[in-house]
Structure 1
Amino acid sequence: MELQRIVKTEQADLAVTMHYPSGGGKGETLPLIVFCHGFTGSRIGMDRLFVQAARYFSDAGYLVVRFDYGGCGESTGSYGDGGMEQLVKETRIMLDYTLSFDCVDLSRVTLLGHSLGGAVAVQTAFRDRRVKHLVLWAPVAHPLADIVRIIGQEAHRNIIAAGQTDYLGYTLTDRFLQSLANAHPLQETRQIRGDVLVLHGAEDEVIASDAAHLYQKAFWLRSDGMSDKEILPYADHSFTGQEIRERLFGLTVDWLRIHDPKRGEWNHYVI
Protein backbone atom coordinates (compact mmCIF):
# COMPACT_ATOMS: atom_id res chain seq x y z
CA MET A 1 0.00 0.00 0.00
CA GLU A 2 1.32 3.42 -0.98
CA LEU A 3 0.05 6.62 0.65
CA GLN A 4 0.78 10.26 -0.16
CA ARG A 5 1.20 12.72 2.67
CA ILE A 6 2.19 16.34 3.33
CA VAL A 7 4.34 17.11 6.36
CA LYS A 8 4.22 20.80 7.25
CA THR A 9 7.32 22.57 8.58
CA GLU A 10 8.10 26.20 9.28
CA GLN A 11 9.95 26.57 5.96
CA ALA A 12 8.07 24.24 3.63
CA ASP A 13 5.37 21.64 3.13
CA LEU A 14 7.20 18.39 2.44
CA ALA A 15 5.68 15.91 -0.01
CA VAL A 16 5.93 12.34 1.28
CA THR A 17 5.22 8.88 -0.09
CA MET A 18 4.89 5.99 2.35
CA HIS A 19 5.12 2.33 1.33
CA TYR A 20 3.52 -0.16 3.71
CA PRO A 21 4.36 -3.86 3.39
CA SER A 22 1.51 -6.30 3.00
CA GLY A 23 0.96 -9.32 5.19
CA GLY A 24 2.31 -7.90 8.45
CA GLY A 25 1.13 -9.70 11.56
CA LYS A 26 -1.33 -8.04 13.91
CA GLY A 27 0.51 -5.92 16.43
CA GLU A 28 3.83 -6.53 14.69
CA THR A 29 6.16 -3.54 14.47
CA LEU A 30 7.95 -2.80 11.23
CA PRO A 31 11.53 -1.88 10.35
CA LEU A 32 11.73 1.60 8.82
CA ILE A 33 13.78 2.95 5.92
CA VAL A 34 13.80 6.70 5.21
CA PHE A 35 15.31 7.83 1.91
CA CYS A 36 17.46 10.97 1.57
CA HIS A 37 17.63 12.09 -2.05
CA GLY A 38 20.53 13.90 -3.64
CA PHE A 39 21.36 17.39 -4.87
CA THR A 40 18.34 19.05 -6.56
CA GLY A 41 16.74 15.62 -6.75
CA SER A 42 13.38 14.29 -5.63
CA ARG A 43 11.77 11.35 -3.90
CA ILE A 44 11.34 9.68 -7.30
CA GLY A 45 15.10 9.38 -7.67
CA MET A 46 17.26 9.31 -10.77
CA ASP A 47 15.48 7.22 -13.41
CA ARG A 48 12.89 6.22 -10.75
CA LEU A 49 15.61 4.73 -8.53
CA PHE A 50 13.76 5.44 -5.26
CA VAL A 51 10.38 4.34 -6.57
CA GLN A 52 11.76 0.97 -7.61
CA ALA A 53 13.83 0.60 -4.43
CA ALA A 54 10.92 1.51 -2.14
CA ARG A 55 8.63 -1.06 -3.73
CA TYR A 56 11.35 -3.70 -3.54
CA PHE A 57 12.01 -2.99 0.14
CA SER A 58 8.30 -2.82 0.94
CA ASP A 59 7.81 -6.25 -0.62
CA ALA A 60 10.64 -7.42 1.65
CA GLY A 61 8.70 -6.30 4.74
CA TYR A 62 9.94 -2.75 5.35
CA LEU A 63 7.97 0.43 5.91
CA VAL A 64 9.62 2.82 3.46
CA VAL A 65 9.37 6.61 3.45
CA ARG A 66 10.61 8.80 0.64
CA PHE A 67 10.16 12.58 0.63
CA ASP A 68 11.12 15.72 -1.26
CA TYR A 69 13.34 18.22 0.51
CA GLY A 70 12.04 21.78 0.56
CA GLY A 71 12.10 23.31 -2.92
CA CYS A 72 12.47 19.91 -4.61
CA GLY A 73 9.92 17.68 -6.32
CA GLU A 74 6.44 18.49 -5.09
CA SER A 75 7.49 20.19 -1.85
CA THR A 76 7.11 23.91 -1.36
CA GLY A 77 9.97 26.19 -0.33
CA SER A 78 13.28 27.11 -1.92
CA TYR A 79 16.02 24.52 -2.15
CA GLY A 80 19.21 25.31 -0.32
CA ASP A 81 17.91 28.39 1.53
CA GLY A 82 19.01 26.94 4.85
CA GLY A 83 21.97 25.01 3.49
CA MET A 84 22.99 21.57 4.67
CA GLU A 85 21.67 22.40 8.11
CA GLN A 86 18.15 22.71 6.69
CA LEU A 87 18.45 19.38 4.86
CA VAL A 88 19.47 17.70 8.11
CA LYS A 89 16.64 19.46 9.95
CA GLU A 90 14.07 18.26 7.42
CA THR A 91 15.42 14.72 7.65
CA ARG A 92 15.00 14.82 11.43
CA ILE A 93 11.48 16.19 10.99
CA MET A 94 10.71 13.15 8.84
CA LEU A 95 12.08 10.93 11.61
CA ASP A 96 9.85 12.75 14.11
CA TYR A 97 6.87 12.15 11.85
CA THR A 98 7.44 8.50 11.01
CA LEU A 99 8.64 7.42 14.45
CA SER A 100 5.40 8.70 15.93
CA PHE A 101 3.60 5.75 14.34
CA ASP A 102 2.97 2.81 16.65
CA CYS A 103 3.79 0.36 13.88
CA VAL A 104 7.47 1.43 13.67
CA ASP A 105 10.14 -0.56 15.48
CA LEU A 106 12.42 2.04 17.07
CA SER A 107 15.32 -0.43 17.14
CA ARG A 108 15.22 -0.89 13.36
CA VAL A 109 15.49 2.60 11.87
CA THR A 110 17.60 3.05 8.73
CA LEU A 111 18.55 6.18 6.80
CA LEU A 112 19.36 5.49 3.17
CA GLY A 113 21.13 8.36 1.41
CA HIS A 114 22.08 8.69 -2.24
CA SER A 115 24.77 11.09 -3.48
CA LEU A 116 24.52 14.36 -1.46
CA GLY A 117 21.76 12.61 0.46
CA GLY A 118 24.45 10.24 1.70
CA ALA A 119 26.32 13.13 3.32
CA VAL A 120 23.03 14.43 4.75
CA ALA A 121 22.27 10.97 6.16
CA VAL A 122 25.69 10.84 7.84
CA GLN A 123 25.26 14.28 9.36
CA THR A 124 21.77 13.38 10.55
CA ALA A 125 22.97 10.16 12.19
CA PHE A 126 25.74 12.18 13.88
CA ARG A 127 23.10 14.36 15.51
CA ASP A 128 20.28 11.85 16.00
CA ARG A 129 20.80 8.59 17.89
CA ARG A 130 17.43 7.31 16.73
CA VAL A 131 19.17 6.28 13.50
CA LYS A 132 20.35 2.69 14.02
CA HIS A 133 21.68 1.86 10.54
CA LEU A 134 23.09 3.83 7.62
CA VAL A 135 23.00 2.76 3.99
CA LEU A 136 24.97 5.02 1.65
CA TRP A 137 24.60 4.73 -2.12
CA ALA A 138 27.31 6.59 -4.06
CA PRO A 139 27.71 9.10 -1.20
CA VAL A 140 29.26 12.54 -1.46
CA ALA A 141 32.38 12.67 0.74
CA HIS A 142 33.49 16.28 0.10
CA PRO A 143 30.27 18.33 -0.21
CA LEU A 144 31.72 21.63 -1.47
CA ALA A 145 34.21 20.19 -3.95
CA ASP A 146 31.75 17.60 -5.25
CA ILE A 147 28.84 20.02 -5.75
CA VAL A 148 31.03 22.73 -7.33
CA ARG A 149 32.28 20.13 -9.78
CA ILE A 150 28.68 19.23 -10.62
CA ILE A 151 27.41 22.79 -11.14
CA GLY A 152 30.58 23.92 -12.92
CA GLN A 153 33.08 26.70 -12.38
CA GLU A 154 31.01 29.36 -14.15
CA ALA A 155 28.07 28.85 -11.77
CA HIS A 156 30.51 28.86 -8.87
CA ARG A 157 31.98 32.19 -10.00
CA ASN A 158 28.47 33.65 -10.36
CA ILE A 159 27.69 32.76 -6.77
CA ILE A 160 30.91 34.35 -5.54
CA ALA A 161 30.35 37.51 -7.61
CA ALA A 162 26.58 37.99 -7.30
CA GLY A 163 25.71 35.96 -4.21
CA GLN A 164 23.59 33.50 -6.18
CA THR A 165 23.14 31.73 -9.49
CA ASP A 166 20.46 29.89 -11.40
CA TYR A 167 21.23 26.20 -11.78
CA LEU A 168 18.64 24.19 -13.72
CA GLY A 169 15.91 26.41 -12.28
CA TYR A 170 17.20 26.21 -8.70
CA THR A 171 18.56 29.36 -7.05
CA LEU A 172 21.82 28.47 -5.36
CA THR A 173 23.19 31.05 -2.94
CA ASP A 174 26.48 31.79 -1.27
CA ARG A 175 24.87 30.66 1.98
CA PHE A 176 24.30 27.23 0.46
CA LEU A 177 27.91 26.99 -0.72
CA GLN A 178 29.18 28.12 2.67
CA SER A 179 27.13 25.40 4.34
CA LEU A 180 28.75 22.86 2.02
CA ALA A 181 32.17 24.19 2.97
CA ASN A 182 31.30 23.75 6.64
CA ALA A 183 30.03 20.20 6.16
CA HIS A 184 32.58 17.49 6.98
CA PRO A 185 30.73 14.16 6.98
CA LEU A 186 33.93 12.09 7.00
CA GLN A 187 34.96 13.70 10.29
CA GLU A 188 31.56 13.02 11.86
CA THR A 189 31.66 9.30 11.17
CA ARG A 190 33.59 8.55 14.38
CA GLN A 191 30.70 9.68 16.56
CA ILE A 192 28.10 7.56 14.76
CA ARG A 193 26.98 4.33 16.35
CA GLY A 194 25.42 1.44 14.54
CA ASP A 195 26.26 -0.45 11.38
CA VAL A 196 26.93 1.10 7.97
CA LEU A 197 26.76 -0.21 4.41
CA VAL A 198 28.37 1.71 1.53
CA LEU A 199 27.56 0.72 -2.06
CA HIS A 200 29.08 2.53 -5.04
CA GLY A 201 29.26 2.08 -8.79
CA ALA A 202 32.62 1.35 -10.36
CA GLU A 203 31.66 3.48 -13.39
CA ASP A 204 30.31 6.43 -11.41
CA GLU A 205 31.35 9.60 -13.27
CA VAL A 206 29.60 11.99 -10.88
CA ILE A 207 31.04 10.89 -7.53
CA ALA A 208 34.10 8.67 -7.92
CA SER A 209 34.02 5.36 -6.08
CA ASP A 210 37.05 6.56 -4.07
CA ALA A 211 34.42 8.12 -1.78
CA ALA A 212 33.25 4.65 -0.74
CA HIS A 213 36.77 3.71 0.33
CA LEU A 214 37.14 6.94 2.29
CA TYR A 215 33.89 6.35 4.12
CA GLN A 216 34.71 2.77 5.00
CA LYS A 217 38.13 3.74 6.34
CA ALA A 218 36.56 6.52 8.39
CA PHE A 219 33.90 4.22 9.82
CA TRP A 220 36.53 1.60 10.64
CA LEU A 221 38.13 4.06 13.07
CA ARG A 222 35.06 3.96 15.30
CA SER A 223 35.01 2.01 18.54
CA ASP A 224 31.45 0.80 17.93
CA GLY A 225 29.62 -0.51 14.86
CA MET A 226 30.38 -2.54 11.74
CA SER A 227 31.10 -1.11 8.29
CA ASP A 228 30.76 -2.94 4.98
CA LYS A 229 31.45 -1.76 1.45
CA GLU A 230 30.99 -3.08 -2.05
CA ILE A 231 31.81 -1.58 -5.43
CA LEU A 232 29.34 -2.69 -8.09
CA PRO A 233 30.96 -3.41 -11.48
CA TYR A 234 29.62 -1.45 -14.48
CA ALA A 235 27.30 0.64 -12.27
CA ASP A 236 27.01 4.40 -12.82
CA HIS A 237 25.87 7.08 -10.38
CA SER A 238 22.17 6.20 -10.63
CA PHE A 239 22.84 2.44 -10.81
CA THR A 240 21.26 2.25 -14.25
CA GLY A 241 20.09 -1.10 -15.53
CA GLN A 242 17.75 -3.79 -14.26
CA GLU A 243 20.44 -6.30 -13.29
CA ILE A 244 22.51 -3.67 -11.49
CA ARG A 245 19.52 -2.38 -9.55
CA GLU A 246 18.40 -5.86 -8.57
CA ARG A 247 21.88 -6.46 -7.19
CA LEU A 248 21.88 -3.08 -5.43
CA PHE A 249 18.52 -3.71 -3.81
CA GLY A 250 19.32 -7.32 -2.99
CA LEU A 251 22.63 -6.47 -1.32
CA THR A 252 20.92 -3.78 0.72
CA VAL A 253 18.10 -6.00 1.96
CA ASP A 254 20.44 -8.92 2.71
CA TRP A 255 22.71 -6.63 4.71
CA LEU A 256 19.81 -5.11 6.66
CA ARG A 257 18.47 -8.54 7.52
CA ILE A 258 21.85 -9.68 8.75
CA HIS A 259 22.13 -6.67 11.04
CA ASP A 260 18.50 -6.81 12.17
CA PRO A 261 18.53 -7.07 15.99
CA LYS A 262 15.14 -8.83 15.93
CA ARG A 263 16.22 -11.56 13.55
CA GLY A 264 19.84 -12.23 14.31
CA GLU A 265 20.18 -14.04 11.01
CA TRP A 266 23.58 -14.42 9.34
CA ASN A 267 22.91 -15.46 5.79
CA HIS A 268 26.54 -15.87 4.74
CA TYR A 269 26.74 -12.29 3.54
CA VAL A 270 30.18 -11.78 2.04
CA ILE A 271 31.87 -8.60 0.87
Structure 2
Amino acid sequence: MQKNITIRSGENNLSGALHLPEYREEAIPLLIFIHGFVGSKVGEHRLFVKAARYFIERGYGVFRFDFSGCGESDGDYADVTLTNQLKEVQDVVDYLSSIRGIDKQQISLVGHSMGGAVASLTAASDSRIKQLILWSPVGTPYEDITGILGPKAVHEISRQGSHDYHGFMISQNFLKDLKRHQPIEAIRSFMGPVHIVHAKEDEQISREHTRRYVNSLNKRLNGERVIEQYIEQADHTFSSYSFENELFDKSLTWLERNSVKEFAL
Protein backbone atom coordinates (compact mmCIF):
# COMPACT_ATOMS: atom_id res chain seq x y z
CA MET A 1 0.00 0.00 0.00
CA GLN A 2 1.28 3.46 -0.91
CA LYS A 3 -0.25 6.65 0.43
CA ASN A 4 0.82 10.14 -0.59
CA ILE A 5 1.25 12.36 2.46
CA THR A 6 1.88 16.07 2.93
CA ILE A 7 3.69 17.19 6.09
CA ARG A 8 3.84 20.81 7.18
CA SER A 9 7.29 22.09 8.16
CA GLY A 10 7.61 25.79 8.88
CA GLU A 11 6.18 27.63 5.88
CA ASN A 12 6.51 24.66 3.53
CA ASN A 13 4.55 21.54 2.72
CA LEU A 14 6.77 18.49 2.30
CA SER A 15 5.71 15.85 -0.19
CA GLY A 16 6.04 12.27 1.02
CA ALA A 17 5.03 8.72 0.21
CA LEU A 18 4.23 6.16 2.91
CA HIS A 19 4.52 2.49 1.97
CA LEU A 20 3.07 -0.12 4.32
CA PRO A 21 2.94 -3.91 3.99
CA GLU A 22 -0.56 -5.19 3.26
CA TYR A 23 -0.68 -7.95 5.85
CA ARG A 24 0.99 -7.52 9.21
CA GLU A 25 -0.77 -7.96 12.53
CA GLU A 26 2.02 -6.72 14.78
CA ALA A 27 3.41 -3.16 14.88
CA ILE A 28 5.35 -2.22 11.75
CA PRO A 29 9.06 -1.28 11.87
CA LEU A 30 9.60 1.91 9.86
CA LEU A 31 12.44 3.00 7.58
CA ILE A 32 12.64 6.72 6.77
CA PHE A 33 14.65 7.38 3.60
CA ILE A 34 16.60 10.63 3.39
CA HIS A 35 17.78 11.79 -0.02
CA GLY A 36 20.93 13.73 -0.81
CA PHE A 37 22.08 17.02 -2.31
CA VAL A 38 19.57 18.31 -4.93
CA GLY A 39 17.92 14.89 -4.81
CA SER A 40 14.36 13.70 -4.35
CA LYS A 41 12.27 10.95 -2.81
CA VAL A 42 12.36 9.05 -6.11
CA GLY A 43 16.15 8.84 -6.20
CA GLU A 44 18.42 8.50 -9.21
CA HIS A 45 17.31 5.58 -11.41
CA ARG A 46 14.34 5.34 -8.96
CA LEU A 47 16.59 3.97 -6.21
CA PHE A 48 14.25 4.89 -3.33
CA VAL A 49 11.12 3.67 -5.11
CA LYS A 50 12.75 0.30 -5.73
CA ALA A 51 14.05 0.19 -2.15
CA ALA A 52 10.58 0.94 -0.77
CA ARG A 53 9.04 -1.92 -2.75
CA TYR A 54 11.83 -4.26 -1.71
CA PHE A 55 11.44 -3.57 2.01
CA ILE A 56 7.63 -3.55 2.21
CA GLU A 57 7.60 -7.00 0.63
CA ARG A 58 9.66 -8.08 3.63
CA GLY A 59 7.41 -6.57 6.29
CA TYR A 60 8.87 -3.07 6.74
CA GLY A 61 7.11 0.24 6.41
CA VAL A 62 8.93 2.88 4.36
CA PHE A 63 8.55 6.64 4.22
CA ARG A 64 10.36 8.65 1.57
CA PHE A 65 9.99 12.42 1.20
CA ASP A 66 11.29 15.51 -0.57
CA PHE A 67 13.08 18.19 1.41
CA SER A 68 11.82 21.73 0.76
CA GLY A 69 13.11 23.04 -2.54
CA CYS A 70 13.32 19.47 -3.89
CA GLY A 71 11.02 17.16 -5.80
CA GLU A 72 7.35 18.00 -5.27
CA SER A 73 7.76 19.89 -1.98
CA ASP A 74 7.24 23.61 -1.52
CA GLY A 75 10.08 26.09 -1.40
CA ASP A 76 13.09 26.97 -3.51
CA TYR A 77 16.58 25.57 -3.22
CA ALA A 78 17.91 29.11 -2.78
CA ASP A 79 16.50 28.96 0.77
CA VAL A 80 17.81 25.49 1.64
CA THR A 81 20.30 24.92 4.46
CA LEU A 82 21.39 21.76 6.23
CA THR A 83 20.11 23.25 9.48
CA ASN A 84 16.65 23.66 7.93
CA GLN A 85 16.76 20.08 6.63
CA LEU A 86 17.45 18.80 10.13
CA LYS A 87 14.33 20.61 11.34
CA GLU A 88 12.32 19.10 8.49
CA VAL A 89 13.41 15.59 9.45
CA GLN A 90 12.27 16.32 13.01
CA ASP A 91 8.85 17.35 11.72
CA VAL A 92 8.68 14.19 9.60
CA VAL A 93 9.50 12.00 12.61
CA ASP A 94 6.93 13.88 14.71
CA TYR A 95 4.23 13.12 12.15
CA LEU A 96 5.15 9.48 11.54
CA SER A 97 5.43 8.73 15.25
CA SER A 98 1.74 9.57 15.61
CA ILE A 99 0.56 7.01 13.04
CA ARG A 100 -1.20 4.06 14.62
CA GLY A 101 0.42 0.73 13.83
CA ILE A 102 3.97 2.04 13.54
CA ASP A 103 6.43 0.44 15.98
CA LYS A 104 7.95 3.47 17.68
CA GLN A 105 10.75 1.27 19.04
CA GLN A 106 11.87 0.40 15.51
CA ILE A 107 12.21 3.70 13.67
CA SER A 108 15.31 3.70 11.48
CA LEU A 109 16.82 6.37 9.25
CA VAL A 110 18.32 5.38 5.90
CA GLY A 111 20.43 8.17 4.44
CA HIS A 112 22.19 8.23 1.07
CA SER A 113 25.06 10.64 0.33
CA MET A 114 24.22 14.03 1.91
CA GLY A 115 21.20 12.28 3.39
CA GLY A 116 23.67 10.13 5.32
CA ALA A 117 25.08 13.23 6.98
CA VAL A 118 21.56 14.49 7.76
CA ALA A 119 20.60 11.08 9.17
CA SER A 120 23.73 10.95 11.34
CA LEU A 121 23.19 14.42 12.77
CA THR A 122 19.52 13.64 13.45
CA ALA A 123 20.22 10.32 15.16
CA ALA A 124 22.83 11.98 17.38
CA SER A 125 20.20 14.28 18.89
CA ASP A 126 16.86 12.43 18.61
CA SER A 127 16.30 9.45 20.92
CA ARG A 128 13.35 8.29 18.81
CA ILE A 129 15.78 7.06 16.16
CA LYS A 130 16.71 3.50 17.09
CA GLN A 131 18.81 2.38 14.13
CA LEU A 132 20.81 4.05 11.39
CA ILE A 133 21.74 2.89 7.89
CA LEU A 134 24.15 4.97 5.80
CA TRP A 135 24.70 4.47 2.08
CA SER A 136 27.88 6.16 0.75
CA PRO A 137 27.49 8.96 3.33
CA VAL A 138 28.88 12.47 3.10
CA GLY A 139 31.37 12.89 5.93
CA THR A 140 32.51 16.52 5.67
CA PRO A 141 29.53 18.46 4.29
CA TYR A 142 31.31 21.64 3.24
CA GLU A 143 34.29 19.94 1.63
CA ASP A 144 32.22 17.23 -0.05
CA ILE A 145 29.58 19.55 -1.52
CA THR A 146 32.04 22.20 -2.68
CA GLY A 147 34.02 19.36 -4.25
CA ILE A 148 30.92 18.38 -6.23
CA LEU A 149 30.18 22.00 -7.19
CA GLY A 150 33.75 22.69 -8.28
CA PRO A 151 36.01 25.70 -7.59
CA LYS A 152 34.50 27.91 -10.31
CA ALA A 153 31.02 27.62 -8.80
CA VAL A 154 32.32 28.18 -5.27
CA HIS A 155 34.14 31.31 -6.43
CA GLU A 156 30.97 32.58 -8.12
CA ILE A 157 28.99 32.02 -4.92
CA SER A 158 31.56 33.95 -2.86
CA ARG A 159 31.48 36.88 -5.34
CA GLN A 160 27.84 36.97 -6.39
CA GLY A 161 26.07 35.20 -3.53
CA SER A 162 24.66 32.27 -5.50
CA HIS A 163 25.23 29.80 -8.33
CA ASP A 164 22.82 28.02 -10.66
CA TYR A 165 23.73 24.33 -10.34
CA HIS A 166 21.73 22.36 -12.90
CA GLY A 167 18.62 24.40 -12.14
CA PHE A 168 19.12 24.52 -8.35
CA MET A 169 20.18 27.88 -6.92
CA ILE A 170 22.96 27.29 -4.39
CA SER A 171 23.30 30.20 -1.97
CA GLN A 172 26.20 31.54 0.03
CA ASN A 173 24.13 30.91 3.16
CA PHE A 174 23.87 27.23 2.19
CA LEU A 175 27.66 26.85 2.02
CA LYS A 176 28.26 28.81 5.22
CA ASP A 177 25.77 26.65 7.08
CA LEU A 178 27.48 23.45 5.91
CA LYS A 179 30.57 24.46 7.88
CA ARG A 180 28.56 24.29 11.12
CA HIS A 181 27.97 20.56 10.88
CA GLN A 182 30.39 17.69 11.54
CA PRO A 183 28.40 14.44 11.30
CA ILE A 184 31.36 12.09 11.86
CA GLU A 185 31.99 13.64 15.26
CA ALA A 186 28.31 14.06 16.11
CA ILE A 187 27.40 10.44 15.39
CA ARG A 188 29.42 9.31 18.39
CA SER A 189 26.51 10.51 20.54
CA PHE A 190 24.21 7.93 18.96
CA MET A 191 24.21 4.72 20.99
CA GLY A 192 22.05 2.63 18.65
CA PRO A 193 23.19 0.15 16.00
CA VAL A 194 24.65 1.56 12.77
CA HIS A 195 25.18 -0.08 9.37
CA ILE A 196 27.31 1.55 6.66
CA VAL A 197 27.63 0.47 3.03
CA HIS A 198 29.83 2.40 0.62
CA ALA A 199 30.21 2.10 -3.14
CA LYS A 200 33.72 0.77 -3.76
CA GLU A 201 34.25 2.95 -6.88
CA ASP A 202 32.42 6.01 -5.57
CA GLU A 203 33.36 8.93 -7.82
CA GLN A 204 31.78 11.65 -5.65
CA ILE A 205 32.18 10.80 -1.96
CA SER A 206 35.40 9.27 -0.70
CA ARG A 207 35.00 5.87 0.92
CA GLU A 208 37.53 7.13 3.46
CA HIS A 209 34.53 8.82 5.09
CA THR A 210 33.06 5.41 5.88
CA ARG A 211 36.29 4.42 7.63
CA ARG A 212 36.15 7.64 9.64
CA TYR A 213 32.51 7.06 10.59
CA VAL A 214 33.38 3.54 11.74
CA ASN A 215 36.39 4.75 13.75
CA SER A 216 34.26 7.41 15.42
CA LEU A 217 31.44 4.99 16.22
CA ASN A 218 33.78 2.37 17.62
CA LYS A 219 35.06 4.88 20.19
CA ARG A 220 31.65 4.80 21.87
CA LEU A 221 31.78 3.18 25.30
CA ASN A 222 28.40 1.42 25.14
CA GLY A 223 27.64 1.27 21.44
CA GLU A 224 27.60 -1.85 19.30
CA ARG A 225 30.76 -2.33 17.25
CA VAL A 226 30.38 -1.23 13.62
CA ILE A 227 32.02 -2.85 10.59
CA GLU A 228 31.83 -1.16 7.19
CA GLN A 229 30.80 -2.98 4.03
CA TYR A 230 31.54 -2.18 0.38
CA ILE A 231 29.93 -3.02 -2.93
CA GLU A 232 32.55 -3.88 -5.52
CA GLN A 233 32.60 -1.78 -8.71
CA ALA A 234 29.59 0.27 -7.60
CA ASP A 235 29.37 4.00 -8.37
CA HIS A 236 28.00 6.63 -5.99
CA THR A 237 24.32 6.01 -6.79
CA PHE A 238 24.61 2.21 -7.13
CA SER A 239 23.40 2.53 -10.71
CA SER A 240 22.76 -1.03 -11.78
CA TYR A 241 20.28 -3.70 -10.73
CA SER A 242 23.10 -5.84 -9.34
CA PHE A 243 24.44 -2.96 -7.21
CA GLU A 244 20.94 -2.09 -5.98
CA ASN A 245 20.08 -5.66 -5.09
CA GLU A 246 23.33 -6.15 -3.20
CA LEU A 247 22.77 -2.87 -1.36
CA PHE A 248 19.24 -3.84 -0.35
CA ASP A 249 20.23 -7.39 0.59
CA LYS A 250 23.12 -6.25 2.80
CA SER A 251 20.86 -3.73 4.54
CA LEU A 252 18.07 -6.28 5.07
CA THR A 253 20.47 -8.90 6.45
CA TRP A 254 21.74 -6.36 8.97
CA LEU A 255 18.21 -5.25 9.92
CA GLU A 256 17.03 -8.81 10.48
CA ARG A 257 20.09 -9.72 12.51
CA ASN A 258 19.62 -6.65 14.65
CA SER A 259 15.91 -7.29 15.19
CA VAL A 260 16.80 -10.83 16.36
CA LYS A 261 19.11 -9.27 18.95
CA GLU A 262 16.36 -6.91 20.04
CA PHE A 263 13.95 -9.84 20.41
CA ALA A 264 16.49 -11.88 22.35
CA LEU A 265 16.90 -9.06 24.83
User: TM exceeds 0.5?
Assistant: yes
Residues 141-176 of structure 1 show CA distances to partners (whole Å, capped at 9, x for unaligned) of 010010001111111011111111111111111111
Select 1:38's aligned residue among 36, 39, 48: 36
Matches within 5 A, 1:108-257: 108-226=106-224, 227-257=226-256
Q: Which amino acid aligns with 1:174?
A: Q
Runs of 5+ in structure 2 lacking a partner? none
Which residue pairs with 2:88 in the alignment?
Answer: 90
Contact 1:85 1:179 in 2 (8 A): yes
The alignment partner of 2:100 has SS state of: coil
Contact 2:69 2:80 in 1 (8 A): no
The alignment partner of 1:22 has SS state of: coil
The alignment partner of 1:228 has SS state of: coil
Residues 100-138 of structure 1 show CA distances to partners (whole Å, capped at 9, x for unaligned) of 012111111100000000000011111211000000000
Q: Tell me which moved more, 82-91 or 128-137.
A: 82-91
Contact 1:19 1:63 in 2 (8 A): yes
Q: Which amino acid aligns with 1:237?
A: H
Percent identity, aligned pairs only? Answer: 37
Select 2:75's aligned residue among 77, 80, 86: 77
Q: CA RMSD in A?
A: 1.3
Contact 1:7 1:16 in 2 (8 A): yes
The alignment partner of 2:77 has SS state of: coil
For residues 113 and 236 of structure 2, the distance between their equivalents in structure 1, rounded to whole angstroms, comes to 8
Q: 1:60–1:170: structure 2 CA closer, same or farther, 3 Å change rule?
A: same
The alignment partner of 2:118 has SS state of: helix
Contact 1:257 1:263 in 2 (8 A): no
Matches within 5 A, 1:45-64: 45-64=43-62
Runs of 5+ in structure 1 lacking a partner? 266-271
Q: How many residues align?
A: 263
The alignment partner of 2:169 has SS state of: strand
Q: CA deviation at 1:262?
A: 7.7
For residues 116 and 78 of structure 2, the distance between their equivalents in structure 1, rounded to whole angstroms, comes to 16
The alignment partner of 1:259 has SS state of: helix
Q: CA deviation at 1:81?
A: 2.0
Which residue pairs with 1:7 in the alignment?
Answer: 7
For residues 224 and 64 of structure 1, the distance between their equivalents in structure 2, rounded to whole angstroms, comes to 29
Q: CA deviation at 1:140?
A: 0.2
For residues 199 and 78 of structure 2, the distance between their equivalents in structure 1, rounded to whole angstroms, comes to 27
Contact 2:68 2:80 in 1 (8 A): no
Q: 1:137–1:32: structure 2 CA closer, same or farther, 3 Å change rule?
A: same
Contact 2:8 2:91 in 1 (8 A): no
For residues 9 and 211 of structure 2, the distance between their equivalents in structure 1, rounded to whole angstroms, comes to 36
Contact 1:80 1:86 in 2 (8 A): no
Q: Which amino acid aligns with 2:103?
A: D
For residues 93 and 78 of structure 2, the distance between their equivalents in structure 1, rounded to whole angstroms, comes to 20
For residues 107 and 223 of structure 1, the distance between their equivalents in structure 2, rounded to whole angstroms, comes to 22
For residues 14 and 54 of structure 2, the distance between their equivalents in structure 1, rounded to whole angstroms, comes to 23
Q: How does the TM-score come out when normalised to structure 1?
A: 0.94
For residues 195 and 98 of structure 1, the distance between their equivalents in structure 2, rounded to whole angstroms, comes to 21
Q: How does the TM-score come out when normalised to structure 2?
A: 0.96
For residues 36 and 111 of structure 1, the distance between their equivalents in structure 2, rounded to whole angstroms, comes to 7
